[in-house]
Amino acid sequence: MFHSAPQRLNSRAEYEAMWQGWESENGFAVESCVSTDRMLQLAGNVAIFTHSVETVASFDGVAEPQHERETIVLELREGQWLAIHEHLSALTS
């Protein structure tokens, strides 16, 4: 779930296609990314990672900062943590 996407992305393939479209059609590039206010909560085989993130990204050569919050849900599978859900929202204050 990304507030900047017009629809829900139902698979990693959809996410990768969207990202590739931004790069090829809009010259998209991430200039920098800083994570703050991090928290990790464990609940058995599930971990929930939340943080605030400030990203500077450029579209068509114009760099703009974005202030967002992100939640990533991970599941422990066969001894490895796998991200199974991500939600990104605009930071309003």
State residue 56's pLDDT score: 96
Indicate the pTM of the whole model: 0.78
Q: Where are the beta strands (DSSP E) in the chain?
A: 29-43, 46-59, 62-77, 80-90
State residue 74's pLDDT score: 98
**What's the CA gap between 39 and 25, in Å, rounded?**
35
**Cα dihedral value 83, 12, 57, 81, nearest 10:** 10
Q: Distances in Å between the alpha carbon of 1 and those of 44, 61, 79, 85, 92?
A: 24, 26, 26, 8, 17
State residue 93's pLDDT score: 64
List, in order of start, the domains of the chain with CATH numbers: 12-90 (3.10.450.50)
In order along its 93 residues, the chain shows pLDDT tens digits of: 567 778 888 888 988 998 898 899 989 999 999 999 999 999 999 999 999 999 999 999 999 999 999 999 999 999 999 999 999 899 886
